[in-house]
Amino acid sequence: MNRTQRLDRFISQNTGYSLADTRMLLAQKRILLDGVEAHSIHQKVTRFTHVMLNGDCLQDNQPVYLMLNKPRGVVSATKDLKHTTVLDLVQHPRKNELHIVGRLDFNTTGMVLLTNDGAWSRRLSSPETSLAKTYEVTLSEPVTQAYVDVFRQGIYFEYENITTRPARLEILSGHTARLTLTEGRYHQVKRMFGFFQNEVLALHRVSVGAIVLGGLEQGQSRALTSAELCTIQQNERQGFHHGQD
């Protein structure tokens, strides 16, 4: 989890200086935040703020943003006594700091995002963000235009007494389709196709927002690029518009 502190509290908790001493340190220009002279005791220090005092580094945490192509039969968890977890597949020196952004079911494959930035993951996972997630689905029965129309309207889930948000469904072949959602309810894809009594045989997440899995091999991970991070921030609140094809 990320914790934001006022500058004077951060200094007093991480040095021998008191809260009152911070004003003196500011006046003497002895504190740098992200390479810039600090100017107020009220400035915010997050987990990833680079803090220097008297030329010594007090904090130098770096955010980590990774993409993993999850194979079938891997658990979306950081620890599991029986099964391989997504974290077991990650090769990163700070892997123990990471948590999962948007889990996938045991048999679902594709993109999983991992980070140590709690604020980022909460923002992406928030229902208000409406971040689009796209899946390729293989089904036991053929998909027809009727599916497209119903998915666009939303499907009523009696147990929760809710109707799903409009979803975009593109038929790829008789038994395969590409589905884009802006929410992530429990077993949502399977339940939506279950409306037509059509069993999901395989489910693969290919993108989250504007970040695309691409040619990343199953079981492999890589850091998100600066361009991908910028793009997903731009798309966080765009969501999916009703009636979009």
| pLDDT value for 119 | 87
Q: What is the pTM of this model?
A: 0.83
CATH of the domain at 164: 3.30.70.1560
Q: What is the DSSP string of 177-218?
A: EEEEES---TTHHHHHHHTTT--EEEEEEEEETTEE-TTPPT
Could you report the per-residue pLDDT of 118-134, keeping only the tens digit for each? 889 988 887 777 889 99
Does pLDDT of 60 surpass 80?
A: yes
| pLDDT value for 235 | 61
Within a domain: 243 = no
Which of left, alpha, beta for 147 (phi over 0: left; psi -120 to 50: alpha)? alpha
Average pLDDT, the chain: 91
Within a domain: 26 = yes
| pLDDT value for 239 | 45
Does pLDDT of 225 surpass 50?
A: yes
In the three-class reduction of DSSP (H, G, I as helix; E, B as strand; rest coil), residue 110 is classed as strand
d(CA 57, CA 171): 55
Same domain? For 26 and 139 the reply is no
Residue 238 confidence class, pLDDT cut points 50, 70, 90: low
Same domain? For 54 and 72 the reply is no
Does pLDDT of 37 surpass 90?
A: yes
| pLDDT value for 244 | 38
Location of structure tokens 């959602």: 181
238 vs 23 pLDDT, higher one? 23
In the three-class reduction of DSSP (H, G, I as helix; E, B as strand; rest coil), residue 141 is classed as coil
* DSSP-H helix ranges across 52-210: 86-89, 118-125, 145-153, 188-194
Classify burial at 200, counting beta carbons within 10 Å of its beta carbon; exposed 0-12, middle 13-18, buried 19 or more: buried
Within a domain: 13 = yes
Same domain? For 119 and 223 the reply is yes
Spatial contact of 197 and 190, defined as CB atoms under 8 Å apart: no
Residue 237 confidence class, pLDDT cut points 50, 70, 90: very low
Could you report the per-residue pLDDT of 196-213, keeping only the tens digit for each? 999 999 999 999 998 999
d(CA 148, CA 72): 27
Same domain? For 75 and 121 the reply is yes
Does pLDDT of 3 surpass 90?
A: no
| pLDDT value for 104 | 93
| pLDDT value for 242 | 37
CATH of the domain at 20: 3.10.290.10
d(CA 239, CA 235): 7
Cβ neighbours, 10 Å, residue 168: 20
Does pLDDT of 144 surpass 80?
A: yes
Within a domain: 241 = no
Spatial contact of 165 and 240, defined as CB atoms under 8 Å apart: yes
CA diameter of the chain? 73
What average pLDDT does the segment 90-117 reach?
A: 93
What average pLDDT does the segment 21-43 reach?
A: 96
At 34, give phi and psi (nearest 5°): 55, 40
Same domain? For 157 and 198 the reply is yes
| Active-site residue, selected from the candidate residues 105, 117, 149, 245 | 105
| pLDDT value for 2 | 55
Within a domain: 240 = no
Does pLDDT of 230 surpass 90?
A: no
Within a domain: 118 = yes
Number of domains in the chain: 3
Residue 243 confidence class, pLDDT cut points 50, 70, 90: very low
56 is catalytic: no
